Structure 1
Amino acid sequence: MTDVTLMDFHADWCGPCKTQDPIIEEIEEDYDEVTFEYVDVDEEPDIANEYQVRSIPTIIVKNEEGVVERFVGVTQRDTIEDALSQAGN
């Protein structure tokens, strides 16, 4: 499988992020082969700017070729899993 990374852009004050968090945590438990990176946009604005994150939560799925998929707002598990599988092929 190709190296796949899921980047979760969030902030402590973000209500929808608190809805997204348990979904990401469940996926992380089931996907040992995927790297999970958690980016607090308040603590790491440079990374958020690099990926042009303007709203949170934003989830970016990427592989060695670059960004495969970007989701803005609360995103359901099935949708994220589809992107992970697409990125890994």
Structure 2
Amino acid sequence: MLNRRLFSRTTRYFLSPLSNRRRQHYFHSSQVAQTGQELKGTDQNFEKLVEQASEPVIVDFYADWCGPCRVLGPLIKKVVEANKKVTLVKLDIEENKLVAEKFMISSLPTVKAFHKGKEIDTFIGLRDSSFIKDFVEKTGSLATDS
């Protein structure tokens, strides 16, 4: 699955007599756009998505078997989509053990806020929607307006 913010789509027309079809090409953008989107984090892309990001990022550490994680996930996604100043990175700790060990994740769900690669805030466990909204707004307030 291609991330729409990392890749931009262009259509090229080939004028060959044998092929008069349109082809879509995807070109990689070197900068991640911070627009309230949800990205899938992995051990391989975590540094680029979170630690090298110049804008605020919220990381949701979860596992598929975790009941509270399944409740928190849609709540935080909805709030982040409405904010548009932060990016949500969801990281499954079962598939990405290196990052989970690096941040010593021992309880689920764990949500951490990062700004310019530094951890600025965290909470553990299921919280109500007003707490989540305040958490996201506080993190989003650090975004630089361009």
TM-score clears 0.5? yes
Cα pair distance change 1:65/1:87, threshold 3 Å: farther
| Superposed CA RMSD | 1.9
Cα pair distance change 1:74/1:87, threshold 3 Å: farther
Q: Deviations over 1:9-45 (max 9, x none)?
A: 0000001101101211111211223121110010001
Structure 1: which 5+ residue stretches go unaligned?
A: none
Aligned to 2:33: none
Aligned to 2:92: 40
Residues 10 and 58 in structure 1, CA contact (< 8 A), matched pair in contact too: yes
Aligned to 2:107: 55
1:78 aligns with 2:133: yes
Paired with 2:115 and 2:83, the residues of 1 have a C-alpha distance of 15
Aligned to 2:71: 19
Paired with 1:58 and 1:79, the residues of 2 have a C-alpha distance of 16
Residues 113 and 120 in structure 2, CA contact (< 8 A), matched pair in contact too: yes
Identity of aligned residues (%): 25
Q: How big is the shift at 1:79?
A: 3.6
Whichever residue aligns with residue 113 of structure 2, its letter is V
Q: Which has the larger radius of gyration?
A: 2
Paired with 1:3 and 1:38, the residues of 2 have a C-alpha distance of 16
Length-normalised TM-score, structure 2: 0.54
Paired with 1:84 and 1:63, the residues of 2 have a C-alpha distance of 8
Relative to its length, the structure with more helix (as a share) is 1
Aligned length: 88
Structure 2: which 5+ residue stretches go unaligned?
A: 1-53
Paired with 1:82 and 1:27, the residues of 2 have a C-alpha distance of 9
Length-normalised TM-score, structure 1: 0.84
